[in-house]
């Protein structure tokens, strides 16, 4: 790729320049402040949307709660809803401590922004949502279609390459705001919207007439999603990384929000260490030994978070699919504690 196209790819992915925030000890800052400042979606049910009391609910907000609890012992979070375009700049500038907003890890985002993706919380893919009456069954039949794309997302870059590779033309309509992106599609301004498949499934299911829309079978890119932090604070990065792993390990060990007290008392060396009945799990990442216990008792394990927000226990009922544990054939895998 030449310099111009690299620059274009970087711009298309919503990347705005080098990191500017002063380095800080985030574990100490969060402890002193008494809350974690988390960047979240403006309103995507299941992944991050406010409830009636203005509290953010969803898979990503629950990761904010888990990280806050690991540090503070309780899920104290200040929510900062962000547009797709503003999210990385906001993290770079230090306006938020952590970003949890269906953000895809890419080389450019991880390597050139001074940011880092410590873990994945949802393995997704990019797809296309169309009006069913278009009579199309796969993307190669979309020659000449009008495609709505949200600015500052990976989708913008991927879709252009996809149409070029297929050798067919399309008219891109690049939209800045998240709300306008969906309404443009539902009001007929474009034939297709492209984004993460989870997002497309949710938008379709929560529309007035889900049958009028269909997600095409094409998966045009991988899209691993996860929390993002600044790259200059290894200790905080470790907390986010190992909190994510703790959620997976708890699922693997059968530790749930309901049974965590009972599990902590079991005559099992691994469980006792993991849940802080015996010392060791906190010291290496600068936390108390009860941090995993606190996270699970406040937020639950990964399967509980998945189920209540996007899975079988929610109206969305998305399948676990690739997000199942490795032991169930999925990609979710935690190293040993």
Query: Which parts of this chain interact with ligand GSH (CB under 6 A)?
Result: 41-42, 44, 83-84, 101-104, 150, 153-155, 177-178, 195-196, 199, 223, 225
Choice between 156 and 251, CB closer to ligand GSH: 156
The nearest distance, CB 49 to ligand GSH, in angstroms, is: 10
Q: How far is the CB of 47 from ligand GSH (least distance, A)?
A: 7
Q: Report the nearest approach of ligand GSH to the CB of residue 106 (Å).
A: 8
How far is the CA of 299 from the CAs of 92, 278, 304, in angstroms? Answer: 27, 22, 8
Q: Which is nearer to ligand GSH, 69 or 106 (CB)?
A: 106
In the complex, least distance from residue 14 CB atom to ligand GSH, rounded to whole angstroms = 6
Nearer to ligand GSH, 153 or 297 (CB): 153
Residue 203 to residue 181: CA distance in whole angstroms: 11
| Residue 48, CA distances (Å) to 99, 153, 294 in order | 12, 17, 22
Burial 87-110 (b: 16+ CB within 10 A, else e): bbbbbbebebbbbbbbbbbbebbe
Q: Which is nearer to ligand GSH, 122 or 245 (CB)?
A: 122
> Do 181 and 98 meet the contact criterion of CB atoms below 8 Å apart?
no
Matching residue, tokens 């990442």: 285
Residue 89 or 223: which CB sits closer to ligand GSH? 223
Measured from the CB atom, the residue of 44 and 220 that comes closer to ligand GSH is 44
Distance in Å, CB of 202 to ligand GSH, minimum: 9
Q: Which is nearer to ligand GSH, 88 or 291 (CB)?
A: 88
Helices 291-299 and 59-72, axial angle in degrees (round to 10): 140
**Per-residue CA distances from 336 to 221, 305, 332 (Å):** 30, 21, 13
Q: In angstroms, give the least distance from the CB of 151 to ligand GSH.
A: 8
| Closest-approach residue to ligand GSH (CB) | 178
The minimum distance between CB 132 and ligand GSH, in angstroms, equals 22
* List of residues 6+ apart from 58 with CB closer than 8 A: 40, 41, 44, 45, 46, 47, 48, 49, 309, 310
The residue assigned the tokens 């999210």 is 87
Instruction: Please answer whether residues 185 and 129 qualify as being in contact, where contact means their C-beta atoms are separated by less than 8 angstroms.
Output: yes
């Amino acid at each position: 790729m030449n310099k111009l196209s690299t620059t274009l790819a970087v711009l298309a992915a919503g990347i705005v320049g080098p990191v500017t925030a002063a380095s800080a000890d985030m574990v100490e800052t969060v402890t002193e402040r008494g809350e974690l400042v988390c960047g979240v979606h403006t309103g995507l049910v299941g992944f991050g949307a406010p409830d009636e009391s203005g509290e953010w609910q969803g898979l990503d907000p629950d990761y904010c709660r888990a990280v806050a609890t690991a540090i503070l012992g309780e899920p104290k979070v200040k929510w900062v809803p962000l547009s797709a375009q503003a999210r990385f700049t906001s993290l770079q500038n230090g306006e938020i401590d952590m970003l949890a907003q269906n953000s895809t890890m890419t080389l450019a985002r991880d390597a050139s922004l001074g940011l880092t993706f410590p873990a994945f919380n949802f393995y997704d893919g990019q797809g296309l949502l169309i009006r069913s009456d278009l009579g199309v069954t796969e993307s190669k039949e979309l020659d000449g279609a009008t495609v709505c794309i949200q600015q500052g997302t990976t989708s913008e870059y991927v879709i252009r390459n996809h149409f070029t590779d297929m050798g067919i033309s399309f008219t891109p309509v690049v939209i800045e705001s998240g709300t306008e992106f969906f309404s443009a599609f539902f009001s007929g301004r474009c034939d297709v919207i492209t984004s993460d498949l989870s997002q497309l499934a949710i938008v379709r299911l929560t529309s007035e007439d889900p049958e009028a829309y269909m997600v095409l079978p094409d998966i045009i890119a991988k899209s691993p999603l996860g929390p993002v932090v600044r790259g200059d604070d290894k200790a905080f990065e470790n907390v986010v990384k190992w909190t994510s792993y703790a959620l997976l390990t708890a699922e693997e060990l059968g530790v749930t929000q309901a049974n965590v007290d009972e599990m902590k008392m079991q005559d099992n060396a691994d469980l006792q260490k993991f849940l802080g009945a015996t010392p060791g799990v906190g010291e290496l990442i600068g936390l108390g030994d009860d941090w995993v216990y606190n996270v699970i008792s406040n937020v639950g394990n990964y399967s509980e978070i998945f189920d209540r927000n996007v899975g079988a226990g929610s109206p969305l009922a998305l399948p676990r699919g690739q997000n199942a544990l490795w032991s169930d054939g999925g990609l979710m895998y935690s190293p040993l504690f």
